[in-house]
Amino acid sequence: MQTSFYASGFLYSLKTHQILLLKSQQKDSTDFLWSTLGGESSDGEEAQSAFQRIINESLNLNLKTKDIYPVYDYFYDARDKINYVFYAEVKSPKEFDPFKGDAFSWVAFGEIAKLPFTTRTKQDVIVGERVISAKWREDEAKKNGSSS
């Protein structure tokens, strides 16, 4: 029997180099926190498929499997389960229109330090940025190596 898990992450715009985050108000407060998109797994679901489904349900966006990249995973004590973190590349923020109100926003990595997050979510975004930067450097090295 497969244990349930949590899958979370964000979209990354190749054109603007921004990520899509969710802004939610805290209970009994006027304060809000920024978070990644996430949700519980379904029975028998693989982690990447869970993330793909969650994005589809949240944003009505059908991601291609080839555009989804793992960031990392860890045991999240607060949820008492493993959290698998992903990001998905999209060509442009205008590629789709998920916005109903102002719950979602595209944010540059340089703005992350100014935003209120939970510690875990902030860590997920920071590690995600590092993974994206490493992939970009690797892709650039391949391009430069193949053009000589």
- Is residue 80 one of the residues assigned to a domain? yes
Burial 100-116 (b: 16+ CB within 10 A, else e): eeeebbbbebeebeebe
Report the pLDDT value the prediction gives residue 101, as an integer from 0 to 100.
Answer: 54
Report the pLDDT value the prediction gives residue 97, as an integer from 0 to 100.
Answer: 55
- Is residue 1 one of the residues assigned to a domain? no
Report the pLDDT value the prediction gives residue 148, as an integer from 0 to 100.
Answer: 47
Report the pLDDT value the prediction gives residue 32, as an integer from 0 to 100.
Answer: 85
Domain that holds residue 75: 6-146
Give dist(CA 116, CA 17) in Å, integer: 20
**3-class SS at 135?**
helix
Provide the residue-wise pLDDT of the chain in tens; the chain has 148 residues: 458 999 999 999 999 999 999 988 767 667 789 999 999 999 899 999 999 999 999 888 899 999 999 999 999 998 899 999 999 999 876 655 555 556 888 999 999 999 999 889 999 999 999 999 999 898 888 888 765 4
Residue 131 sits in a domain whose CATH number is 3.90.79.10
Contacts made by residues 1-5, CB under 8 angstroms, sequence distance 24+: 2/43, 2/44, 3/81, 3/82, 4/40, 4/41, 4/81, 5/40, 5/41, 5/47, 5/50, 5/81, 5/82, 5/83, 5/84
- Is residue 140 one of the residues assigned to a domain? yes
Report the pLDDT value the prediction gives residue 52, as an integer from 0 to 100.
Answer: 97
- Is residue 72 one of the residues assigned to a domain? yes
